Amino acid sequence: ENYPIIINEDFFNVEPTVNSNTIGKWIDINQRLSLLAKKEKKISIPPVNAFVGNPPYTRQEEMEEYIKEYKNKLIKKIESEWDLSLGKRSSIYVYFMLHGIKFLKEGGRIGYITSNSWLDVDYGKYLQEFLLKNTKIIAIIESKVERWFEDADINTVITIAEKCSKENERNNNIVKFVQLKKRLEDIIPTTNENERWKAIDELTNLIENTNEYYENERIGIFIKTQKELWEEGYDEEARKYVGSKWGKYVRAPDIFFRILEKGKRIFVPLNEVAEVRFGIKTGANEFFYLTEEEIQKWGIEREFWMHTIKRDEEAPVPEHVWKDRGGEYFKSSQYAKRMRLEDVLRDGGYVYWVPNYLIKSPRECRSILIDPKSLKYRVLLIHKDKSELRGKNILKYIEWGESQGFHLGSTCASRQKWYELPEIKAELIWVKGIWNRHFIPTAKFELFIDQQLYAVQLNSKQQRDRLAALLNSTYFAIFQELIGRVTFGEGILWIAVYEPTKLLIPDPGKKTVENLTNLPKRFSELAQREIGTIFEEIGAYSSEDVSLDKVKSDRRELDKLIMGEILGLSKEEQLEVYRAVIDLVKSRIEKAKSVKRNEKKKGINLEQLAEDIIKEIKLKPLPNFPDDYLNDLEIAETRKVPSGRKVTME
C-alpha cells in the first residue's frame, strides 16, 4: 500500500541508519512504528539526497526559560555528532540545521527556512563556520519586500547547502547571495501549476548558473567564494573564525553591489596596505595622561613626556620643539639605548624633542586633519627600571601612583613594569564609535592613540594621503554602516577592531589612484575644515532631498575623483551613494530615538500586559498541586510545622 511514512517523534531522537546493525537505534526496543495503513513496521533511515526544514521560530530566551533541560540535551547532541560546541545564545533552528545535515549523503543538500539572525549576530559565527567547513553553500535567499510568514514576527532567509568533505571544492565554491525585489507570488505564479513549476525551474537555474554579479528589476545576485567568506571572518591575531556580517550581501542598497562590481579589479582588503590595532590601554588614565601644566607641577623630566625625532623628520609644531644642543640630554636619556645619535642629530648640531601628543577621543577631532596644538594631553612613557630613576622626579611620581593603588589594577599589574606603556602611534586613526559624523582622522605626524580609537599603521607612509583620501570619500560611509553593529540604546555604530581590515578599498598603489595628481590637493581642501554631520556634509536630511549641488563643494570635488574617476560611478550612481548614506545613518539614529521614546512612556499598556500574560500561560502550563510537584516513586516524610504568631502590618 502506497502510504507516506510519517514519524511522529522528536526530531532529535531520530538518527540516520548507518548499517543494518543500527536499525531501531532511535526507537525503543518495545516500540513499533505506527503507519497510516494501520500497520506497524520497523524502518531504517538511510543517508538521503535532500533534507528540507522549517524549524520553529523560538527565541533562545524562551528556550532558556521554559525548556532549559531540553536545550542542554540539544547541546550534548550536537557535541556528540559534530564535536562542536555552540554558543549558549544559539537559537533552536541552528540545532535543527546541524542535525539535519547528519542525514545527508555526500553531495546531498539541505534547504532550510529560518530566522535571518545568524547572518549577522555573534552566535551566528558558529553556524557560519560549520557551513564553511562542512558544506558548499549554494545560496542564501532573502526577500527585500515581504515576510514569508505573516504570523511569525521575524525576518526569514532560505539557506541551501550541499554536504561536501573536500576542502578544495568548498573553498572554490561560489556562494550566491540572492535578494528578491518582488513578492514571491510575483516571481512564482500560484494559479497555474504548469506555470508555477516553470517559474521555479527558471529561478533555480538562474541562481545555480550565475557566476558573476547579476541584477534586474526582480532579483539581485551577489557572489562570493567560500574562501573569501572564510578570510573575511577569520581573525589572524586570535587565529580563529570570529564571524562576519553576511547580511550585507542580501540587504545592502543596490549601489553597494554596483560599487563592489565596478571596483573588483582595483579593490584590496585594507589589511594589505595597513594594520588596524587597539590603542593604548593604560589601566589608569589619570596617572599616564597629563597636561603640560600637571607635568610642570610634578617637575617630570623631559625624556618621559617628550621623544626625539629623526634628523630629517619635520617637527609638527615648531614652537613645541625643545632643542638639545649636541644631543647631550639625549645621550643619557632612555632613547639612547634605542636610537643612534647620528640618526637624530641635525646638521645644525641639535637633537629635536617633541611632546608625546595623545589623541584620546574623537571629540578632539574637529577636522579630518588633526592639529597637534589642539591636543590637551601628553602620555608618559617610562622605559627605565626604578634603579635607573633614582634622584629623578619621575620616580617620586611613580611612588605617588603606587600610594594611590594604580599598580594594583589588573591592566597595570599584568605588565613587567606596571608603569611602562606600549608605544602605539599612527598617522591614521579609526573612530570605533560612530554617531552622525563619518570620517577617518589623519595627522602629518604620528600621534599616540588611546584605546577609545584604533591606530591604523601604514605599510608605506608614502601612501598616507592617498589612503586617507580614499577612506574619507562619502561612498566609504556605506561600507562602515554595513559592517558595524548597534548594541546600545543611543544608536552608536560600533566597529570591532578586526572588521576594518576586511573592508575593500581601491589599492592606493594602483596606477588608477597614483595618476590622479590632484587627489592630494582636493583632499587637503576638505581635511582642514571642520567636519559636520553627514547630513550637513551632503546637504540633506532625507534621501528625497539629495542633489549633487547641495553637497559641500570640497567634498563633492573629492568624491568626483574617487567615486567618478577611480570607481567609475556615473553621476546618477553617485547620487544613489549620497541617498544610501542618508538612509542608512538616518534609519540607525531614528531607530535608537524610537527606543528611547518607548522607554520614557509613562503608565501601563494593559493590552500588551494581557497579551504577555496569555503568552506566559500558553508557553508554561500551570502545574497541578500536588500531583505535578511530587514523584510517585519519591519517599516522602511528614513534618509538623508549628503555628506562628500573628503577623500584622503597620
For residues 59-72, give the mean pLDDT: 63
Contacts of 194 (CB under 8 A, 6+ apart): none
In whole angstroms, what is the distance from residue 133 CA to residue 166 CA? Answer: 9
Res 323 pLDDT > 60: yes
For 96-149, how does the pLDDT look when each residue is reduced to its tens digit (9 = 90+)?
Answer: 899 899 889 999 999 999 988 889 877 889 999 999 999 999 999 998 777 776
With respect to residue 59, please indicate whether it lies within any of the assigned structural domains: yes
With respect to residue 509, please indicate whether it lies within any of the assigned structural domains: yes
Q: CA nearest 384: which of 417, 338, 340?
A: 417
Q: Beta strand pairing status for 433-434 and 104-115?
A: unpaired
Are 216 and 73 within one domain? yes
Question: 29: domain range?
Answer: 1-46
With respect to residue 88, please indicate whether it lies within any of the assigned structural domains: yes
- Do residues 423 and 334 touch, judged by C-beta distance below 8 A? no
Are 24 and 113 within one domain? no
pLDDT at 12 (0 to 100): 82
Could you give the number of structural domains in the chain? 3
With respect to residue 21, please indicate whether it lies within any of the assigned structural domains: yes
* Complete DSSP assignment for 288-328: HEE-HHHHHHHT--GGGTEEE--TTPPPSSGGG-EEEETTH
Of 593 and 360, more confident: 360
With respect to residue 238, please indicate whether it lies within any of the assigned structural domains: yes
Are 512 and 525 within one domain? yes
Domain end among 251, 274, 308: 251
With respect to residue 441, please indicate whether it lies within any of the assigned structural domains: no
Are 101 and 7 within one domain? no
Are 35 and 109 within one domain? no
Element (H, E) at 234: strand 234-235
Are 178 and 31 within one domain? no
In whole angstroms, what is the distance from residue 266 CA to residue 213 CA? Answer: 16
Are 67 and 15 within one domain? no
pLDDT at 398 (0 to 100): 98
For residues 39-47, give the mean pLDDT: 70
Cell 502545574 locates to: 623
Are 238 and 149 within one domain? yes
In whole angstroms, what is the distance from residue 251 CA to residue 168 CA? Answer: 29
Give the rounded percent of residues in the chain with a pLDDT score beyond 90.
Answer: 59
* Complete DSSP assignment for 99-114: HHHTTEEEEEEEEEEE
- Do residues 491 and 593 touch, judged by C-beta distance below 8 A? yes
For the beta sheet containing 135-143, the strands, ordered from the edge strand earlier in sequence to the opposite edge, are: 48-53, 104-115, 156-163, 135-143, 174-180, 219-225, 214-215
For residues 448-461, give the mean pLDDT: 95
SS (H, E, C) 584-616: HHHHHHHHHHHHHHHHHCCCCCHHHHHHHHHHH
Res 595 pLDDT > 60: no
Q: List the CATH number of the domain containing 167.
A: 3.40.50.150
In whole angstroms, what is the distance from residue 104 CA to residue 162 CA? Answer: 9
Are 215 and 227 within one domain? yes
For residues 414-436, give the mean pLDDT: 96
Q: Beta strand pairing status for 442-449 and 358-359?
A: parallel
Using alpha carbons only, give the angle 505, 360, 430 rounded to the nearest 5 degrees: 5
Domain end among 568, 583, 599: 599
pLDDT at 635 (0 to 100): 43
Res 644 pLDDT > 80: no
Contacts of 456 (CB under 8 A, 6+ apart): 274, 275, 276, 426, 427, 428, 429, 430, 440, 500
Q: Which of 250-264, 331-345, 439-453 has the lowest mean pLDDT?
A: 250-264
Domain end among 251, 276, 303: 251
With respect to residue 366, please indicate whether it lies within any of the assigned structural domains: no
pLDDT at 331 (0 to 100): 97
Are 32 and 151 within one domain? no
In whole angstroms, what is the distance from residue 433 CA to residue 451 CA? Answer: 12
In whole angstroms, what is the distance from residue 362 CA to residue 441 CA? Answer: 8
pLDDT at 613 (0 to 100): 60
pLDDT at 132 (0 to 100): 97
Highest mean pLDDT among 155-164, 400-409, 461-470: 400-409
With respect to residue 374, please indicate whether it lies within any of the assigned structural domains: no
Are 212 and 228 within one domain? yes
Are 70 and 207 within one domain? yes
Res 571 pLDDT > 80: yes
Q: Which of 224-228, 484-488, 561-565, 572-576 has the lowest mean pLDDT?
A: 484-488
